Amino acid sequence: MEWVLEPAAWVGLFTLIILEIVLGIDNLIFIAILVDKLPPSVRDRARVTGLLLALLLRLAMLAVMSWLIKLTTPLVQWGPFSFSARDLILIVGGLFLVFKGTVELHERLEGRTSMATGARLHSEFWVIVTQIVILDAIFSIDAVITAVGVVDHLAIMMIAVIIAVGVMLVASKPLARFIGAHPTVVVLCLGFLLTIGFSLLAEGFHFSVPKGYLYAAIGFSVIIEALNQLARRNVKRLESRRPLRERTAEGILRMLGKRPLLGPDDEPPEEPPEQVFEDEERYMVSGVLTLADRSIHSIMTPRADVSWIDLDDDPAVLRQQIVKAPHSFFPVCRGTLDEVIGVGRAKELIADLISIGRIRLSRLRDPIVVHESIGVLRLLETLKRSRGQLVMVTDEFGTIQGVVTPIDVFEAIAGEFPDEDETPDIVEDGDNRWRVDGAADLHHLEQVLKTEGLVDDEEGYSTLAGYLLERFGRLPEAGDTCELNQPHATYRFKVLTIEGRRIASVEIERLPPSTPVDEEDGG
């Protein structure tokens, strides 16, 4: 132990520890890849067992270092090549690394490691431990030769190897966790394994491969992968700023075959996504996912279409009105819809008109009124408490804007269900042509047309008429047209009829994609 008093021996020990750790990094990476094949409960045990056995193997190799030095004596002659025992070890080790790297890389490229289930998912414990020992034996050749060349004392070599393996034991678990969370790093490491395997084969055949070239190539690849991981992390960080509900809804809608909105410079997909769900299923799922984002104006019955009872009308007129309308509840008002007295049930109103010739105000229910800014989810809670009664929507000035019933919410999810006195808002009128009411809901229209770009919550409109008024910038005339260009198709909107100051009906035609046109077309 006289070396303890030699400063040069301590410098050599420190240098050798650094070199052994550096030379053991590649070994540590491949150990992390191997133990990932085991069940999580035994991975740590396999990692520790494999490294301890590898430590014993390295110490044994150091103990016979005098024999290792003599491995350069030629043993086999084959043509112009002569092979020593060291050369044969390098060739066998190189073949093993190339074979192992090729098999592992093929499994990951084919997706077998992520698709396997059940008993096929994990390997045997001792099979993995054996592979760890074999890999360490191969990688230890350079480490042992380095140790022999750096210092002269066997004790210093063994201490350096023990410390290096101890560092590997501490660092192996976090490194394995990092590699498991970054699949591209695994592929990169397998590429390193192939590179090292080929270099060992070349060295075994006496072709000199400068280590600097290998380390430079590996270092450059590591830098590129680090930049790639940084870019991925930044993308995830930006993506995480979007609400989780919005990201989840978008992901599910993509699974349902709904096309994402493309930017002006984006290329349209070559093939449309495979449709796994039927149209009605897609409508319902899309309706549920987008329901919370919709405004109350997009689902309510607008003021112009509300059926209400005017107490100033003749009882016979009221009776006829109630009989013709297929509704269960009616707002009962005096003179105007804004003067709401209460809400009456149809059968009770008819009974009063027949028995006493007037409507008894004492039997009316108190009206349920909500502000137009209320969210749809809060509106659902109000509808649950209404016990089937309609809910009236008002603005900040107290003007009634419309009414909402449970069937309106159901239509927002599952599509339109016209009453007996109504015709569907969207009627197919030939191939790729539809006749649409101006009051048609834009969400439903997007689903029927299988497109996007009509709904814009920031603009405040929810009907086709509102969309066209925003596009034209004025009240159009019958025959005016405008177009919506999408990557997969162009939609032409032609105004058919105007009733007063309202767009009553529109013809929509789907055409092949074309170059963008001017936003406004006077027709």
Q: Does some domain include residue 140?
A: yes
> Per mean pLDDT, which range of 158-162, 166-170, 173-177, 323-327 is the poorest?
173-177
Q: What are phi and psi of 339, to 5 degrees?
A: -95, 75
Grade residue 411 by pLDDT with cuts at 50, 70 and 90: confident
Enter the pTM of the model. Answer: 0.46
- Domain enclosing residue 355, as ranges: 294-414
Evaluate whether 344 touches 319 at the Cβ level (below 8 Å).
no
144 vs 186, residue with greater confidence: 186
Q: Does some domain include residue 67?
A: yes
Q: Which residue type does 310 have?
A: D
pLDDT tens for 180-193 read 666 677 677 667 76
Write down which residue in 166, 182, 209 finishes a domain: 209
> Per mean pLDDT, which range of 17-21, 40-44, 162-166, 260-264 is the poorest?
260-264
Domain with residue 339: its CATH number is 3.10.580.10
Q: Are residues 331 and 365 in the same domain?
A: yes
> Per mean pLDDT, which range of 129-138, 389-398, 479-488 is the poorest?
129-138
Write down which residue in 347, 379, 414 finishes a domain: 414
In this prediction, residue 227 carries a pLDDT of 87
In this prediction, residue 263 carries a pLDDT of 45
> Residue 495 pLDDT more than 90?
yes
Grade residue 149 by pLDDT with cuts at 50, 70 and 90: very low
Q: Are residues 450 and 340 in the same domain?
A: no
> Residue 2 pLDDT more than 80?
no
pLDDT tens for 57-102 read 777 776 665 455 556 667 777 777 778 777 777 787 678 767 777 8
Q: Is 186 exposed, middle or buried (0-12, 13-18, 19+ CB in 10 A)?
A: buried
In this prediction, residue 262 carries a pLDDT of 47
Q: Are residues 10 and 138 in the same domain?
A: yes
> Residue 362 pLDDT more than 80?
yes
> Residue 401 pLDDT more than 60?
yes
Q: Are residues 12 and 85 in the same domain?
A: yes
Helix spans in 241-345 (H): 244-255, 279-290, 315-324
In this prediction, residue 256 carries a pLDDT of 58
pLDDT average, residue stretch 130-150: 61
In this prediction, residue 116 carries a pLDDT of 41
DSSP per-residue string spanning 56-116 = HHHHHHHHTHHHHHGGGSEEEEETTEEEEHHHHHHHHHHHHHHHHHHHHHHHHHHTHHHH-
Q: Does some domain include residue 312?
A: yes
Cα angle 248-252-255, degrees, rounded to a multiple of 5: 145
Q: Which residue type does 344 have?
A: G
- Rounded to whole angstroms, the Cα distance separating 380 from 116 reads 44
Q: Are residues 375 and 435 in the same domain?
A: no
Q: Does some domain include residue 270?
A: no
In this prediction, residue 120 carries a pLDDT of 40
Grade residue 521 by pLDDT with cuts at 50, 70 and 90: very low
- Rounded to whole angstroms, the Cα distance separating 393 from 301 reads 10
Q: Are residues 393 and 450 in the same domain?
A: no
Grade residue 319 by pLDDT with cuts at 50, 70 and 90: very high
Evaluate whether 93 touches 200 at the Cβ level (below 8 Å).
yes
> Per mean pLDDT, which range of 88-92, 272-276, 489-493 is the poorest?
272-276
Q: Are residues 115 and 184 in the same domain?
A: yes
Evaluate whether 100 touches 193 at the Cβ level (below 8 Å).
yes
376 vs 77, residue with greater confidence: 376
- Rounded to whole angstroms, the Cα distance separating 55 from 467 reads 74
Grade residue 111 by pLDDT with cuts at 50, 70 and 90: low
Q: Does some domain include residue 362?
A: yes
Q: Does some domain include residue 181?
A: yes
Q: Does some domain include residue 274?
A: no
Grade residue 421 by pLDDT with cuts at 50, 70 and 90: low
In this prediction, residue 485 carries a pLDDT of 86
Q: Are residues 120 and 27 in the same domain?
A: yes
In this prediction, residue 410 carries a pLDDT of 84
Number of domains in the chain: 3
- Rounded to whole angstroms, the Cα distance separating 309 from 346 reads 10
Domain with residue 441: its CATH number is 3.30.465.10
> Residue 264 pLDDT more than 60?
no
Q: What are phi and psi of 262, to 5 degrees?
A: -105, 145
- Buried-state track 390-423, b at ≥16 Cβ within 10 A, e below 16: bbbbbeeeeebbbbbbeebbebbbebeeeeeeee
> Residue 343 pLDDT more than 80?
yes
In this prediction, residue 349 carries a pLDDT of 93
Q: For all residues of the chain together, what is the average pLDDT?
A: 75
SS (H, E, C) 395-428: CCCCCEEEEECHHHHHHHHHCCCCCCCCCCCEEE
In this prediction, residue 332 carries a pLDDT of 94
> Per mean pLDDT, which range of 190-199, 235-244, 486-495, 500-509 is the poorest?
235-244
In this prediction, residue 294 carries a pLDDT of 79
Q: Hey, is 179 helix, strand or coil?
A: helix
Write down which residue in 414, 448, 468 finishes a domain: 414
> Residue 175 pLDDT more than 80?
no
Q: Are residues 60 and 90 in the same domain?
A: yes
Q: Are residues 353 and 449 in the same domain?
A: no
> Residue 506 pLDDT more than 90?
yes
> Residue 314 pLDDT more than 80?
yes
Going by their DSSP bridges, the two strands 301-302 and 391-394 should be labelled as unpaired
Beta bridge partners of 503: 498
Q: Which residue type does 274 have?
A: E
Q: Are residues 403 and 431 in the same domain?
A: no
Q: Does some domain include residue 82?
A: yes
- Rounded to whole angstroms, the Cα distance separating 222 from 228 reads 10
- Rounded to whole angstroms, the Cα distance separating 506 from 497 reads 7
pLDDT average, residue stretch 132-145: 63
Q: Are residues 386 and 452 in the same domain?
A: no
pLDDT average, residue stretch 473-486: 89
419 vs 291, residue with greater confidence: 291
Grade residue 117 by pLDDT with cuts at 50, 70 and 90: very low
